[in-house]
A = this chain, B = another copy of it.
Amino acid sequence: MAISDEVRNHKITLTEDEMPTQWYNIVPDLPAPPPPALHPGTHQPAGPEDFAPLFPMALIMQEVSQERYIDIPGGVLDVYRQWRPSPLFRAHRLEQALGTPAHIYYKYEGVSPAGSHKPNTAVPQAYYNAQEGIKKLVTETGAGQWGTALAFATALYGLECEVFQVGASFDAKPFRKLMIEVFGGVVHRSPSQLTEVGKMLASDPKNLSGSLGIAISEAVEVAVKDPETRYALGSVLNHVLMHQTIIGEEALLQLAKVGETPDLIVGCTGGGSNFGGLAFPFLREKMAGKINPRILAAEPASCPSLTRGVYAYDFGDTAGMTPLMKMHTLGKDFIPDPIHAGGLRYHGMAPLISHIYELGLMDAEAVAQTECFSAAVQFARTEGIVPAPEPTHAIALAIREALKAKETGEETVILTALCGHGHFDLAAYDEFLRGGMVDEDVTDERFAAALANLPDMGDSSY
């Protein structure tokens, strides 16, 4: 690369005074309301009381809220301001390496204490639980980003934290577990022998590598058994996605500062919180006719709930303990290949994103992991940040688009979310650099069995 003495505007920052002080709830702005969650026994809409053993009332009210904006409490803003507003970067050096006229922007959430976007919701979840007198939170984690974030957040408010980590990630990423322990959390490999559901599922060898669905079942079982314990979910639910909208709200302000209008917004999707957090504020502007970006979900080829799942009522967990949610699903029994992007290995997609996808307001594409890591290494060597495996899916699609722009000569403005760093994922990079990484099994047979086993909705009108 040539030596240049140009000083470019890589980083678009906001002052703390410019930081949004409200979360955005997209529900009231949608052209049709999302289908309700259903009680698994009655198949009737689940009410707040059905969620009460799992969540504090403040979060249940947010889950079903029709308010467009919800104030972020001062005690949460206080913590957010340790790392927020997060920087928006222009990827000048990546653009230069690609030789593209496209403008590539990435909103970087790896600056948070836990190294990902997850504290944006972990902090308010811990805050509201502490406020309602809860003593302990229990949760699942895949790659460990969510578990780390919740352990960080619970430490701040004096809560205990117990984490069931997906077996494949527990084995592959010991440092994430250690980081949870440094924050004072307790970590179990899932499926464990500590819960009834864990013991039951562990008896089937196919479940031994674990899945988010299995770990959720274990965490839910622990939560419902103790009145001073609640469950915390790191994605999927409306209130979780809403907490993440601070990402997109900041990015809107930051792009406006440099006078850019996005043509493409691309984010990786596992349960949907990173994607929803980035995209929903832009979707609001799009629905209002102010901008017209393509909004694109990047999902893993191993677990393509939007592009190869069905839109149906399904359980959020493997054991079938949660309310039924209408979502794009590969079936609650689906165990994805143990790819490195452990945070994307979830059988379902957030009901809100599934609904928005059905409304035709967004697109989705699946990417195989070797393309992702190839993109990630190019990104690291130009931008200097080693991405977590999850956002490499979005980086891969951003690079595809930037190379298209190179052919057409268009100055396409691309925005993506770099939702976390890959400091705990270097074994995956090692595998890639040594040529040992393989792509996922994407044959129809891989997905058929779990898809054939969706809940029987009988004569439910939902």
A interface residues with partner B (beta carbon < 8 Å): 1, 3-8, 10-11, 13, 15-16, 73-75, 77-78, 81-83, 89, 93, 111, 113-115, 127, 130-131, 152, 155-158, 174-175, 178-179, 181-184, 377, 380-386, 423-424, 426-427, 429-430, 433
Contacts and interface: CB of A to CB of B under 8 A. Distances in A.
A257 B152 CA distance: 29
Contact of A380 (B82, B115, B182, B427): B182
Given A11-B16, A74-B6, A82-B384, A182 B89 contact: no
Contacts of A181: 429-430, 433
Identical chains bound together, number: 2
17 contacts: A1-B157, A3-B75, A6-B74, A6-B75, A7-B74, A7-B77, A7-B81, A11-B81, A11-B82, A13-B15, A113-B383, A152-B384, A174-B426, A175-B175, A178-B426, A178-B427, A182-B386
Contacts of A73: 5
A5 B184 contact: no
Given A4-B75, A5-B73, A175-B175, A384 B81 contact: no
A130 B1 CA distance: 10
Given A178-B430, A182-B429, A386-B179, A155 B381 contact: yes
A377 B182 contact: yes
Contacts of A175: 175, 423-424, 426-427
A283 to B, nearest CB: 29
Nearest to A428: B178
B113 A111 contact: no
Contacts of A427: 175, 178
Contacts of A1: 156-158
A432 B366 CA distance: 42
Given A82-B10, A183-B381, A423 B5 contact: no
A77 to B, nearest CB: 5
A206 B199 CA distance: 50
A14 to B, nearest CB: 10
A422 to B, nearest CB: 8
A87 to B, nearest CB: 8
Contact of A384 (B156, B381, B382, B423): B156
A82 B78 contact: no
Contact of A78 (B7, B13, B78, B429): B7
Contacts of A174: 426
Nearest to A429: B182
Contacts of A377: 182
Nearest to A82: B10
Given A81-B11, A182-B433, A127 B384 contact: no
B423 A115 contact: yes
Nearest to A10: B82
A81 B25 CA distance: 34
A81 B433 contact: no
Contacts of A74: 4-7
Contacts of A111: 111
B131 A3 contact: yes
A4 B127 CA distance: 10
A182 to B, nearest CB: 5
A4 B423 contact: no
A120 to B, nearest CB: 13
Nearest to A178: B426
Contacts of A10: 78, 81-82
Contacts of A11: 16, 81-83
Contact of A182 (B3, B83, B155, B426): B426
A175 B423 CA distance: 8
A157 B429 CA distance: 22
Contacts of A386: 179, 182
Contact of A385 (B4, B93, B113, B424): B113
